[in-house]
Structure 1
Amino acid sequence: MPIQDSNAGEVMPPIKALLLDDSAFDRNRIRRMTEKSDIPMMIEEVPTIAALSQVMDRDVFDLIMIDYQLAEGDGLEALDLIQNHATNRGAATIMISGQEHMEVAVSAFRNGCHDFITKDELTLPMLRDAMQSALQNASIAMLRGPQIAQEIQKQVQQAMRSTLESGVMQSALTEGLRQAADRIGLEVAGKGTEEMDAFLTEFVADDRFYF
């Protein structure tokens, strides 16, 4: 059943998924479940973290499923690689473990994993729900990202304005500005304190800070 945009009625492209698991049996099992999930999906499989890195470097994925217990490294190492990858850090992630380790689940969630399921409890409905939940949570995180960045910048600007408006900081900036101007030959050395303070006040009021 194709995914449709409920607002526009348009058929959405298949989800691009990547599965990391060193067990061919488990990869086949999970693939069969995804094919029966009614979620249009193109899934690629890799057996190692090294292969995961190579595949991510050449393609961008919507969903990445990670086996925790690997022959080399573990799922948390793979998750860290994903979270710091230039083009795949926004992918939805699901950690799949052969055993139920509460501490592993907690670490996975703390490091940005969107869902955690165990292979012993893995069923088609559970996997489908986990995939849908992870994709939704990843989309929300991507939408909130710019808003959070804007709010942080706003708070920094307010803090800088408050600091600049204090007499001590403004005096220090005035002296620093004079010294900088002297080094590059600008004619501000002769300006009076009131003129320099007026310049800084205008700068603060203009509300233009760049980071």
Structure 2
Amino acid sequence: MAKVSALIVDDAPFIRDLVKKALRGQFPGLQIEEAVNGRKAQQVLSRQGFDLILCDWEMPEMSGLELLQWFRGQPGSEKTPFIMVTSRGDKENVIEAIQSGVSDYIGKPFTNDQLSAKVKKALHRSGKLELLMGRQPQASTGTAHDSVSNLMGGKSPAPAAPPAAKAPPVNPFERLTPASQTAEKPPETAEKQIRGQAQLRLAGEQFACVVKALSLRDALVVVRRGERLPQVFESGVLDLEQDADQSVARMNVYVHSVAAMEANVDCEWLKVTLKFVDQDPQKMEYLSRLIASGSAQRHYSPGA
């Protein structure tokens, strides 16, 4: 079996581990290396070649787009599939990546099947899939890069930051504290415990949520119970919007815990604790400003 290699570039160890696990499960013979950001990946790519690159967009030191632009300037790089793996799903970003020479695009959060399909498609086009599977390679007639429509699944692109949903009924806004503590404070104090609204994106599902507590490590949110429940250790993206300038932070997260808000089987609301996995200083700085500005805004308060 011929050697086929892939480079995974992402600043979040949790995301790198997810990608590695998915690839090893579907492509056992694939040799995998990783880099913690674009700068480290640039150093690795300067020393050796790879048959596939899976790269995050937002990273410290050098972004995925900057790495892509540098890489496409290297001799012979046009034959190497470069897949952008990112939470940036708006049309403008996809167009920018296409213009820089991206081969394909997969949005976070993603399922193992979605990732495997993209990798299989990319390796087939470059003639490496057959080598990996021990078969005779066949020439591909596909183009090197897809259109915006193909990269976005043939669907109309969704906006990068959906508008905040209207506040759910009163239950999610109740304080998440023991009843003994709640009784000590007047009702108007409980109302001030509202932290804000956001959008939680899991693979194949979106949840409008209320942010009850926010820190540099995690977020406590409340979502409405549906047919599909968030799963512990499931990866996702939490879109947080700042009131002052309407900017959005797309924080990569994983589900740490899920609990019903009430002690009955018909409880409609769930408390979900999300752990942040990004190690990008810019995102952490944004999150710090968001938390610090809570005292002056109705949405966010200093975190737990």
- TM-score scaled by length of structure 2: 0.40
Q: How does 1:86-105 map to 2 (within 5 A)?
A: 86=75, 88-105=77-94
Q: Does 1:61 align with 2:59?
A: no
Deviations 1:54-80 (A, max 9, x none): 111211100001101112332211111
Structure whose residues are more often strand by fraction = 2
Partner letter of residue 91 of structure 2?
Answer: M
Larger radius of gyration: 1
Q: For residues 140-159 of structure 1, what are the structure 2 equivalents within 5 Å?
A: none
Question: In the alignment, is the contact (CA less than 8 A) between 1:15 and 1:62 conserved in 2?
Answer: yes
Q: How many residues align?
A: 133
Partner of 1:125: 113
- Aligned-partner SS, 1:36: helix
Gap change, CA 1:111 and 1:41, over 3 Å in 2: same
Indicate how the Cα distance of structure 1 residues 18 and 48 shifts in structure 2: closer, same or farther if over 3 A, else same. same
Could you list the runs of 5+ residues in structure 1 that have no partner in the other structure?
Answer: 1-10, 146-211
Percent identity over the alignment?
26
TM-score (norm 1): 0.56
Residue 81 (str. 1) matches residue 70 (str. 2): yes
Within a 5 Å distance, the mapping from 1:2-17 to structure 2 comes to 11=1, 13-17=2-6
Structure 2 counterpart of 1:27 = 16
Give 4+ residue runs of structure 1 displaced > 6 Å after superposition: 140-145
In the alignment, what sits opposite 1:6? none
In structure 2, list runs of 5 or more residues that go unmatched.
128-138, 145-304
CA RMSD, 1 decimal: 2.5
Q: Give CA-to-partner distance per residue, 1:15-53, whole Å, 9 cap, x none.
A: 210011111111111111111113521111001222111
TM-fit CA distance, 1:86: 3.1
Alpha-carbon distance change, 142 to 18 in structure 1, aligned in 2, over 3 angstroms = farther
Classify 1:136/1:110 alpha carbon distance in 2 versus 1 (closer, same or farther; 3 Å): farther
Q: In structure 1, what residue type is equivalent to 2:46?
A: D
More helix by share: 1
Q: CA deviation at 1:87?
A: 5.2
Letter in 1 for 2:65: L
Is the alpha carbon distance of 1:138 and 1:101 closer, same or farther for their aligned partners in structure 2, counting shifts above 3 Å?
farther
1:78 maps to amino acid: L
Deviations 1:72-96 (A, max 9, x none): 3322111111111235442111001
